[in-house]
Structure 1
Amino acid sequence: MKLAEALSQRADAVRRVEQLRTRVTHSARFHEGEEPAEDAVALLAESEEVLAELQDLIRRINRTNSAAEIGADGTLTDALARRDVLRMHHAVLTSAADAASGRAEHGFGRQMRSELRMLSALPVAELRQRADGVARDLRDLDVRVQRANWEVDLLD
């Protein structure tokens, strides 16, 4: 099995656990004289099976990510850490540019000439340019990670 397939199965298992949790909580109590919509005990047992499968998948995915070398990016774990940091960096830069340009104020700008002007403490154009560069790096890295996901076999 390829890593990408395991990642898809992991996402399905997480969704399944969440659905089962919701169904268990809705069936955990019922009125006297009525039947519950579903058997909460059976749903709990099913959720425990799915959780065990999920744990195994996560363990295998993590082991594979730590062992799979993808060139200059290091291991997949290294690349995923870099991708997470690039996402945060992009968010910081765009938030700073938005705040400095006044986009975050939502119409609370200067109304009269006698009011004090708001000045930018940051160079907006430079921040947006830097954010564009980070976004480009993020896209490039994401392509390499996705390629590796379809090329790397899942370890046991």
Structure 2
Amino acid sequence: MARVKLAEALALRADASRRAEQLRSRVAGSARYQEGETPAEDAAALLAEAGEVLDQLESLIRRINRTNAATDVGDGTLTDALARRDVLRLRHGVVTSAADAAAGDGQRGFRQLRSELKMIPALPVADLRRQADDLARQLREVDTLIQRTNWEADLLD
């Protein structure tokens, strides 16, 4: 039997999550029906199916997490790389927001009347833009490493 790659397991996890959500919605829609009518679907059967899908999802999540923690990449594990990527995304968002706000993006950058106060940036916009570009580069590099590893690593049992 061929080994399942981590990337394939991630796709299966996403499918199982969508399927569980669809079943949840269908169960809720069939849980009550009007007297004298026939329910559109068997809510008990849907609920049982949802339980099976969720059991499969839990198994996949456990195996994915185990694989991420045991797979070495660069100077740490895949779990470490995922944490780094998540924080780089947040950091990039903060720096970009700060640069946009300091630059006055979305606001008029000139005074219409001499009586209006001039807005002055409290942060160095050019430096923040350079920092954001560097963070975006780091993010691309980490994301590429993660994607490559997802296709190379075998899913652990």
TM-score band (shorter)? over 0.9
> Which digits, 9 at most, give the CA deviation of each residue in 1:56-114, with x for residues without a partner?
00000000000000123x10001001000100000001111111111255x69754331
**Distance of 1:81 and 1:93 partners within structure 2:** 18
**Distance of 1:8 and 1:17 partners within structure 2:** 14
TM-score (norm 2): 0.92
Aligned equivalent of 1:87: 89
SS in 2 for 1:32: coil
Aligned equivalent of 1:69: 72
Q: Where do 4+ consecutive residues of structure 1 move more than 2 Å?
A: 107-113
TM-score (norm 1): 0.93
> Which digits, 9 at most, give the CA deviation of each residue in 1:16-52, with x for residues without a partner?
1111111111111222211121111111111110000
**Distance of 1:129 and 1:8 partners within structure 2:** 35
28-37 vs 58-67, greater mean Cα deviation: 28-37
CA RMSD in angstroms comes to 1.5
Instruction: Point out where structure 1 has 5 or more consecutive residues left out of the alignment.
Output: none
The change in CA–CA distance for 1:18 and 1:114 in structure 2 (over 3 A counts) is same
SS in 1 for 2:133: helix
**Distance of 2:47 and 2:112 partners within structure 1:** 60
Whose helix proportion is higher, 1 or 2?
Answer: 1
Aligned equivalent of 1:99: 101
**Distance of 1:144 and 1:71 partners within structure 2:** 9
**Distance of 2:123 and 2:74 partners within structure 1:** 37
**Distance of 1:24 and 1:104 partners within structure 2:** 46
SS in 1 for 2:118: coil
State the aligned residue count: 154
**Distance of 2:106 and 2:51 partners within structure 1:** 45
Q: Among the aligned pairs, what percent are the same residue? A: 67
